[in-house]
């Protein structure tokens, strides 16, 4: 089974509007972390936001917030007030505490395109 | 910018050759992880180095090997290159203290093309 599933291969959003990128995950480890990264066409993976499995509050970082629904095993990224520079690939990733090497497992990504 | 640097930025090799990719970690970080990202896919974990030793490995054959140096920089070596090794290779550095690992920060990647 896929550990991280991103069901939206591509999405369009109008500049200045909010957009939600979906991520569901699968783990039996009670301790895990969820990450979102942005990858522009240049290739570098840029860290956006982190949510720990024991965190009581949803994570927020500026225009980014994470809608964490633990029972549904979902960790959707919400970008408010989209900007043209937000056009990029977005990856959801999970780190499980019992994984050797603290590896990140990535989803297949969502390409976000912001329209002017 | 994260402070993680990688070299070279691009590389072209032929099948059967060997390649070495380099990564300098962010100041204050003590682990380096390597990932392979094929075109159109998410990154796949190759291995992580901590205290100059391999600290975990993904599903990659032994011809993928690495080193970490006392200054925490790292090399990824790939022997007997195959066409499917063509990918973006990303390294990420982080701080590991005890069992707690902080966020991994990525470098700009090395694009490898195997002909």
Tell me the per-residue pLDDT of A42-84, one tens digit each, with 9 for 90 and over: 899 999 999 999 998 999 999 999 999 999 999 999 999 999 9
Q: Which residues of A touch B111 (CB under 8 A)?
A: 43
Q: Does residue A21 have a pLDDT over 90?
A: yes
Q: Which residues of A touch B101 (CB under 8 A)?
A: 95, 102
| CB crowding B93-110: b at 16 or more within 10 Å, else e | bbbbeeeebeebbbbbbb
Q: Does residue A99 have a pLDDT over 80?
A: no
Interface mutation vs chain A, best among B42, B91, B106, most A CBs within 10 Å? B42
- pLDDT per residue over B1-57, tens digit each? 668 999 999 999 999 999 999 999 998 888 999 999 999 999 999 999 998 999 899
- pLDDT per residue over B91-101, tens digit each? 999 988 876 77
């Amino acid at each position: 089974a896929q550990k991280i599933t991103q069901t939206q291969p591509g999405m369009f959003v109008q500049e200045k509007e909010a957009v939600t990128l979906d991520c569901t995950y699968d783990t039996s480890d009670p301790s895990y972390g969820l990450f979102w990264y942005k990858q522009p066409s240049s290739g570098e993976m840029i860290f956006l936001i982190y949510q720990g499995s024991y965190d009581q509050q949803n994570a927020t970082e500026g225009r980014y917030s994470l809608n964490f629904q633990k029972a549904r095993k979902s960790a959707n990224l919400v970008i408010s007030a989209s900007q043209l520079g937000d056009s990029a690939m977005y990856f959801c990733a999970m780190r499980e505490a019992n994984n050797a090497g603290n590896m990140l497992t990535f989803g297949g990504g969502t390409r976000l395109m912001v329209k002017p | 910018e994260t402070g993680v640097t990688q070299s070279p930025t691009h590389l072209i090799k032929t099948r059967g050759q060997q390649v070495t990719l380099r990564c300098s970690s962010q100041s204050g970080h003590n682990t380096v992880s390597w990932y392979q990202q094929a075109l159109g896919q998410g990154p796949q974990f190759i291995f992580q180095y901590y205290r100059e030793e391999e600290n975990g490995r993904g599903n990659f054959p032994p011809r993928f090997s690495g080193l970490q140096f006392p200054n925490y920089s790292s090399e990824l070596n790939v022997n007997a290159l195959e066409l499917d090794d063509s990918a973006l290779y990303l390294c990420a550095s982080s701080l590991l203290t005890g069992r707690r690992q902080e966020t991994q920060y990525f470098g700009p990647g090395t694009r490898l093309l195997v002909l």
